[in-house]
Amino acid sequence: MERVQHRTMGRAEMSLLLQFCLWSALGGGAPAPDVVVVAPRPFHAALEPWVEWRQEQGHVVQVVEAAGEASQVRAALQRVAESGALKYVLLVGDAWPVESQAAAERGVPAYHAAAEVNVRWGSEPEIATDNGYADLDGDLVPDVAVGRLPVRSAAELQGLVARIRRYEEAELRGEWRRRVNFVAGVGGFGAIADRAIEAAARSIIGQGVPACYVTSMTHASWQSPYCPDPARFRETVCRRIDEGCLFWVYIGHGQRREVDRLRTPEGAYGILSADDAAKLRAEAHPPIAVLLACYTGAFDGDEDCLAESLLRAPGGPIAVLAGSRVTMPYGMSVLGMELIAEVFGGGSGTLGELVMRAKRNTLRAERRDAQSQAVDALAGMLSPAGHDLLAERREHVLLFNLLGDPLLRLRLPEPAEVIADGRTAAGSQLKVRVRSRLIGRAKVELVLRRDRLPFKPPVRRAYDESPASRAEYERVYTLANAGCLCSREIQVEQEQFELELQVPETARGACHVRVYIEGRASDGSATCALGSAPIYVEAKRLVSNTSDGDEAGGE
């Protein structure tokens, strides 16, 4: 009888029921929740381990039944937020496109906002977004951290919760924690615009990700030195996920079920699709995936989007940030820059908080730092006359949604202090001093600055699919992503140590000393630490006025 009665309940009654469920936990002097989980009733039992775990961490969690439309859920969350304690909202279940009781039993509806900018480039008139559940005062700025676990069954939810807990509780060690892997498509906006966008992206990667991290680039252009064998491109992309990394980032075009293709004069090769998700094997060290592309996060569609498929895969990413409709280069660049700044800028917090702060910073009206002004100037040059850049940034706050747990604790390696002379000569001994709180194994490397190559890249004017050419693609790709000129590994017995690196005779130009330490701290915890220091390598007889822009022996 209760089930039949629930089906005939009107909208206003459902809204009141949801609000009553939320507020019932606040009576009797109970502490106000800082976490609200909105989930269909069939998922509540599967959520219990997650709720108990987060409560052990000190959170006050309230689980409520998803009922009613998106506006009604938001209204109830606004009531809870009046306590001043609410910080996180977790939505559990898919955003089923059909408004029915069956859909309500399996998911939480997407919020839909009117599109103003991307509709001029062919997008739908409405944007599917979960930002409506984070922006509780109507100013577009997120007030709480929100994330969605787009599961379709209690079994899927149990599996995903177990993966999240393994990720957080794993020992903070392993070289995968210092890797950030990038995959880039081809812009297709015209030769001049593509080169400008590529240069801006390389600048963001080079300046935003600290030099102590190892980055790789896999570029879907057969003329690029960062392109592996085109016939093995999809395999290479999946391998970059499987090898483990802190972040895996795709930049380029996308569709609901796949990202763009690598196009050659002889045909096209896939990069990554939803069908590849089940083949991924990153169970032990899953990355956080960021898809800076159109439609890959269209979580409200009739079929699963790429982001949903990746998150649900047992060997896939542990969380995915992706766009739900047509996205644009400028808006994505700004959001990407702000996310990099939040992750690597020394701040702390959960993944949801980092995304929330990145979105807030994206909406800043005043953008006075040099990098922001350079990106704004480039966007102004490439955009149509009268284009509103702030409106584009606002729209991308709506477009990008976190599919994952907003309470996920992002665990970065500890900092290590690295001291070395700023300039040295090729063929000399470079003294390096390091300080950290770890005892264990240390790897010390001399590496090229990221905007440089250790060789003159080949000029590929004609496409060749011969076995010899395919092998050459692999060789050049490996070299382009290497960048290490020399390295030493030693056992560290105290918190401060020093060693010498033999600088190669052929080394030239702007470099970094990069240090990775894996071991145990004084409290017995297993962890790792990273550090770096800039170095300029001169030729033995180089005159003293050599500038950092000279690139003898490298590109």
Instruction: Give tens-digit pLDDT for 135-161.
Output: 999 999 999 999 999 999 999 999 999
Residue 156 lies in a domain: no
pLDDT at 189: 61
What is the pLDDT, as a whole number, of residue 200? 59
Sign of the Cα pseudo-torsion (494, 497, 502, 503, in order): positive
Same-domain check for residues 390 and 476? no
Domain of residue 61, residue span: 2-109+144-149
> Are 226 and 196 contained in the same domain?
yes
pLDDT in tens, the chain (555 residues): 333 333 334 443 344 344 444 444 444 467 999 999 999 999 999 999 999 999 999 999 999 888 788 999 999 899 999 999 999 999 999 997 655 555 556 799 999 999 999 888 889 899 999 999 999 999 999 999 999 999 999 999 999 999 999 999 999 999 999 999 999 998 766 555 555 555 656 666 667 899 999 999 999 999 999 999 999 999 999 999 999 999 999 999 999 999 999 999 999 999 999 999 999 999 999 999 999 999 999 999 989 999 999 999 999 999 999 999 999 888 998 999 999 999 998 777 899 999 999 999 999 877 777 777 777 777 777 677 668 889 999 999 999 999 999 999 998 999 999 999 999 999 999 999 999 999 999 999 999 999 899 999 999 999 999 999 999 999 999 999 999 999 999 999 999 999 999 999 999 999 999 999 999 998 888 999 999 999 999 997 644 444 444 443 444
What is the structure's pLDDT at 100?
A: 54
Mode of pairing for the β-strands spanning 247-251 and 288-292: parallel
Q: Which helix (H) or strand (E) holds 420?
A: strand 417-420
Q: Does residue 330 sit within a domain?
A: yes
Same-domain status, 341 and 220:
yes
Q: Is the Cβ–Cβ distance between 396 and 510 less than 8 Å?
A: no
Residue that is last in its domain, among 384, 403, 422: 403
217 and 329 share a domain?
yes
Q: Which of 403, 431, 460 is the last residue of a domain?
A: 403
**CA distances from residue 389 to 19, 252, 365, 386, 395 in whole angstroms, order as listed:** 38, 20, 10, 9, 10
Tell me whether residue 264 is in a domain: yes
SS3 (DSSP) at 137: coil
Place of tokens 């807990």: 165
**Has residue 120 been placed in a domain?**
no
Do 373 and 424 have their domain in common? Answer: no
DSSP 347-391: ---BHHHHHHHHHHHHT-S---SHHHHHHHHHHHHHSPTT--HHH
User: What CATH number corresponds to the domain at position 390?
Assistant: 3.40.50.1460
From 403, 432, 447, give the residue that closes a domain.
403
What is the rounded distance in angstroms from the CA atom of residue 62 to the CA atom of residue 56? 14
Q: Domain holding 521: CATH number?
A: 2.60.40.1930
| Same-domain check for residues 421 and 385 | no
Please check whether residue 124 lies inside any domain of the structure: no
In a domain, 117, yes or no: no
Q: How many domains is the chain partitioned into structurally? A: 3
Q: Are residues 320 and 186 in the same domain?
A: yes
So what's the pLDDT on residue 7?
Answer: 36
Residues 310 and 198 occupy one common structural domain = yes
Q: Which DSSP category does 177 fall into?
A: G
Which residues share a beta bridge with 433? Answer: 419, 498
418 and 337 in a common domain:
no
- Same-domain pairing of 44 and 82: yes
Q: Which residues contact 409 (CB under 8 A, 6 or more apart)?
A: 168, 350, 351
Structural domain includes residue 409: no
Residues 45 and 180 occupy one common structural domain: no
Counted residue by residue, the chain has a size of 555
Shared domain check, 437 and 371? no
Query: C-alpha distances in angstroms, 200 versus 280, 347, 383, 547?
Result: 31, 24, 15, 22
